[in-house]
């Protein structure tokens, strides 16, 4: 427990805004870079598989090399080979987990701030178990989204194959999705950074409070012209640890909650102000 590293009964507003935002913004930048690499690789590899002569065997796309070439057929392209979702899920997890772990450690250190936070990171929070669980949740969420993107590319190829597109047209369909996927990567990076940062703050705050302590958080919007109405209405809500905020028609654990509907988390810039009261 980190509780023994602090002095007396109560610690209020532990989070230093500038350090916290630095950690959150760095996480967004790092996650965006990885996601953009993944979606570019996804499009390039999917296009290459569609164009592969090996994939064409048994389909109308195989170019016969002699009069009766049994490698030509009427089977559809094997979409599972075009987009191997299991492989993409594993690849995304391997690429994202180290970045997310580093971001979580930075957020934990920023929360406690100063000498206590210096070098503490995830290892100092309940043996790292709670923060590790956050990293796993976020990594699994993102990996499933990448797998879903691969699945949709496969479905796109299958749709084109059914309506008679040739290989060049199918490859063009895949490549045309890159701008949309890059835009998604930016949007997902924003939510990832916001959600991860607040999830780590939550587990660190609970650990700091210890058994019998109390943690509460206040929802704070940016209160500017870009804030959606539901988040302006949520501004000022106070919840104890474990209680959810009422945001629009949804119940959120924190800004950027990975369980929440997209309309309440996309590009969210809200934050939480924490109060940690330790048991005497």
Banded model confidence at residue 221, pLDDT cuts 50, 70, 90: very high
Mean pLDDT over each residue of the chain, to the nearest integer = 85
Strands 250-252 and 10-12: unpaired
Q: What is the pLDDT of residue 63?
A: 65
Helix, strand, coil percentages for the chain (3-state, nearest 5): 60, 10, 30
User: What tens digit of pLDDT does each residue of 239-278 get?
Assistant: 999 999 999 989 999 999 999 999 999 999 899 999 988 8
Banded model confidence at residue 112, pLDDT cuts 50, 70, 90: confident
- Asked whether 55 and 77 are in contact (CB, 8 A), the reply is yes
Q: Quick count: other Cβ atoms within 10 Å of Cβ 194?
A: 23
Q: The whole model's pTM is what? A: 0.85
124-128, 151-155, 228-232: lowest mean pLDDT where? 124-128
Q: What is the pLDDT of residue 15?
A: 46
- Asked whether 183 and 45 are in contact (CB, 8 A), the reply is no
User: What tens digit of pLDDT does each residue of 174-215 get?
Assistant: 999 999 999 999 999 999 999 999 999 999 989 888 888 899
**pLDDT over 90, % of the chain:** 64
User: What tens digit of pLDDT does each residue of 56-92 get?
Assistant: 877 777 666 566 656 666 778 888 989 999 999 999 9
Distance CA 104, CA 99 (A): 9
């Amino acid at each position: 427990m980190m509780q023994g590293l602090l002095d007396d009964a109560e610690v209020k507003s532990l989070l230093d805004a500038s350090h916290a935002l630095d950690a959150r913004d760095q996480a967004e930048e790092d996650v965006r870079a990885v996601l953009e690499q993944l979606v570019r690789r996804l499009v390039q590899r999917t296009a290459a598989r569609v164009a592969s002569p090996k994939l064409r065997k048994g389909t109308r796309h195989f170019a016969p090399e002699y009069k009766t070439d049994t490698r030509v057929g009427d089977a559809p392209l094997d979409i599972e080979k075009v987009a191997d979702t299991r492989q993409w899920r594993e690849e995304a997890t391997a690429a994202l987990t180290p970045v997310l772990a580093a971001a979580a450690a930075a957020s934990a250190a920023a929360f406690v701030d100063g000498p206590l936070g210096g070098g503490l990171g995830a290892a100092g929070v309940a043996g790292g178990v709670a923060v590790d669980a956050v990293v796993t949740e976020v990594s699994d969420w993102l990996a499933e989204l990448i797998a879903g993107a691969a699945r949709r590319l496969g479905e796109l190829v299958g749709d084109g194959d059914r309506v008679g597109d040739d290989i060049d047209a199918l490859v063009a369909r895949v490549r045309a999705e890159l701008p949309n996927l890059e835009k998604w990567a930016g949007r997902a990076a924003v939510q990832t950074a916001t959600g991860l940062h607040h999830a780590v703050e939550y587990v660190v705050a609970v650990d700091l409070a210890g058994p019998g302590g109390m943690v509460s958080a206040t929802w704070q919007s940016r209160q500017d012209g870009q804030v959606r109405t539901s988040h302006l209405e949520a501004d000022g809500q106070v919840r104890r640890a474990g209680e959810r905020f009422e945001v629009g028609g949804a119940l959120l654990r924190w800004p950027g909650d990975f369980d929440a509907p997209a309309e309440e988390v996309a590009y969210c810039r809200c934050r939480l102000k924490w109060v940690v009261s330790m048991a005497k």
